[in-house]
Amino acid sequence: MFKGSIVALVTPFTDHGVDEWKLAELIERQIVNGTKGIVPCGTTGESPTLSHEEHDKVIEITVDVVHRRIPVIAGTGSNSTAEAVRLTRHAEESGADAALVVTPYYNKPTQQGLYLHFKAVADSVKIPIILYNIEGRCARNIETETVRRLAKDCKNIVGVKEASGNLAQARAVKEACGKKFDLISGDDALTIPMMQLGGAGVISVLANIMPRQVADVVALMLKGKVKEAEAKQKTLLPVIEAMFFETNPIPVKTACGLMGLCAPKLRLPMCEMQPANLTKLKKVLKDHQLI
């Protein structure tokens, strides 16, 4: 259902709130450069520090600017099931094509708790739901059997953004859930191996600054041109590494600022890059003619 290069979009800020004009510009830049889907209000979009009002507004603006040209997959996860339900219902009402729902973080639910959480969200709406599995940020892995149960019991749970870094698990999920269940890489560095396992594409951090290049790699993989995709991906690896010199989205938001795409403003507890890492980032961007 969802395939190609999908960007986990940064949220541009001013001193007073969300920069709505820059947000629209960023979205247009993605569409023009071949991006096949937009994820507003994800981790890269600094969703933890958006107010509920801002969160709703960013999704509304994204839906309006995209205007059905490509899918909008709204980030609507929370560690509170009631809050995740509210956010997901709002996304549906706003016209989002799907919702990306992250594993509840901090409270460390059991696998049964995860099942009940995601089922409650899915049952509350009709739009497709993509699970977001990222144990490193959430302290819980969505086990393969839990994903299988959810895919079986909730017809609108249609895929998973797999960011565990565990290719064996990704393979097991794909085998357990079948061809119609979308496996989407949550890690730019693992896009190709994930797609070789049957993945449909990537929800990408790198696409914020290199949308055309990421789109080209994924398009080549979808055409079965693995060697060509690998050659293109190899040139991107230093930039992918640079995007994680510090915690995401600090490097990518900083890169957006250096490239003049939007202000590099972050919200605490995200803060400016350390000088040594900033120097390294600038070098990588200059080497790839991005600044």
pLDDT digit string (tens) for the chain, length 291 residues: 799 999 999 999 999 999 999 999 999 999 999 999 999 999 999 999 999 999 999 999 999 999 999 999 999 999 999 999 999 999 999 999 999 999 999 999 999 999 999 999 999 999 999 999 999 999 999 999 999 999 999 999 999 999 999 999 999 999 999 999 999 999 999 999 999 999 999 999 999 999 999 999 999 999 999 999 999 999 999 999 999 999 999 999 999 999 999 999 999 999 999 999 999 999 999 999 999
Compute the CA torsion angle 115, 70, 236, 75 (nearest 10 deg).
-30
Inter-residue contact 70 to 29 (CB < 8 Å): no
Enter the pTM of the model. 0.96
Nearest to 51 by CA among 81, 11, 22: 11
Beta strands 182-185 and 17-18 are: unpaired
Annotated catalytic residues are 132, 161
Q: Cα–Cα distance between 118 and 18 in angstroms, integer? A: 29
CA 46 to chain centroid = 11
- Fold entry, domain 4-225: TIM Barrel (3.20.20)
